[in-house]
Amino acid sequence: MGPKLQGGLVATFLGLLLACAGTSQAYAAKPLINLGPKSAPVSEPVSFGAGDDLSGQSGVLIWQNEREAARGLRQVVIPSFQVEFVTNSGATSTGSGLSQSQVSYTLNGPSPQDMQAITDAYYAKFVAELEATGVKVITLDEAMARSPGLVRLMNMAKPAPYVRGKANRSAFYSPPGMKFYFTPNDGRAKGFGDTMTTTGSQVPEEMAMRELDAGVMGVRMVVDFAEIQARGRGVLGMRPMTAKVTSKANVALLPTDTQLWVITPKAKSTPMDLGHRLRYALTGAVVMPGSVISASDTTTGASKMGDAVGSAIGVLAGVGGTKTRTYEVTVDPTLWRLDVSAAMEQVGALMIARLKQDL
């Protein structure tokens, strides 16, 4: 290899390094080989309460998978608008000798009416803020009258409210008259086994995009109430000596799954996400501790004996047998509704602001 060719390769390599170094954290770097949908990085949690302002944190809290994909977007239809409220959550850790630590949490306080009201109010605000950017929102009824692809998509969609899961259980809400469906990037939803609506949505989505000459948009917010981490297998898949689960009551808007996506002709399609889906995702949990009243230990008296290290919000660890704890997290419904509504509105506004920059 000649000196000139070597020098050219070195210059090219250095140029690539500089380009990567100059890429903002809030944008995904384009890989040399596109193997599938890129995942949002996870940043530090942000403490939040109604009245707090997140408007200056877009560069940290919002990630998007590519640039330029929304250029020229003038109208959209929103066939999927869902708010997932986690109502039961649990985890199990298994140690050597098949020892186990199991923790389960149940949410107490908010009613289905509270959850529906939060969803309805947020949808109205979201549409108003989106249209304020100059993007028209085509109503679902009008769009279905013009798009066979959208009719096909809605035939695959779920009615709302929709409750799924047992030990880990969620309630999914949409505005009245709307259904929703899961996409290939809805990792939590796929964990519930709802693959019937995840694998076949791309074709009718793209049909609707072309038939309507509009973007196909989805919004997903995930509201949790307990942070649980179970110790898994170690190096080479070996079980740890001690089965351990750490947990605490923690109302939060979850990262990664909380996102806005839009199908546009300019967004890239990948083998794992065949739709041309531009995504704006939350990177850090927005934690709202202000509404939590208590985390009560509801374990039976027999299983309370020596089975925990710490308090009702703490660590469950053991080296033999099965250690079990069940908790009921009670929140103040009024404060919870204020905090959750405000968090969703603030995060949604950050996503719309990023979208506006790309139009």
pLDDT of 272 = 55
More confident position, 11 or 213: 213
Q: String of b and e for 206-243 (b: at least 16 CB within 10 Å)?
A: bbbbeebebbbbbbbbbbbbbbbebbeeeeeeebbeeb
Give one DSSP letter per residue of 68-113, joined into a string.
STTTT--EEEEEEEEEEEEEEEEEEEE-GGG-EEEEEEEEES--HH
Domain membership of residue 314 (yes or no) is no
The domain of 67 spans 42-89+110-226+253-290+333-358
Domain membership of residue 324 (yes or no) is no
Domain membership of residue 248 (yes or no) is no
Domain membership of residue 339 (yes or no) is yes
Peptide bond into 161 cis (omega under 30): yes
pTM: 0.82
pLDDT digits (tens, 9 = 90+) for 104-155: 889 999 999 999 999 999 999 999 999 999 999 999 999 999 999 999 999 9
Comparing C-alpha atoms, which of 72, 74, 42 is closest to residue 60?
42
pLDDT of 155 = 92
Domain membership of residue 214 (yes or no) is yes
Number of domains present in the structure of the chain: 1
pLDDT of 323 = 75
Please say if the pLDDT value at position 37 is more than 60: no
pLDDT digits (tens, 9 = 90+) for 144-186: 999 999 999 999 898 999 998 888 899 999 999 999 888 766 7
* Residue matched to tokens 């009670």: 330
**Cβ neighbours of residue 353 closer than 8 Å, sequence gap 6 or more:** 55, 58
Domain membership of residue 14 (yes or no) is no
Domain membership of residue 4 (yes or no) is no
Domain membership of residue 241 (yes or no) is no
Q: Which of 235-249, 290-304, 331-345 has the lowest mean pLDDT?
A: 235-249
Which band of pLDDT confidence, cut at 50, 70 and 90, is reported for residue 327? confident
The DSSP 8-state label assigned to residue 64 in this structure reads: E
Task: Give CA–CA dist 211/269, Å, rounded.
Answer: 19
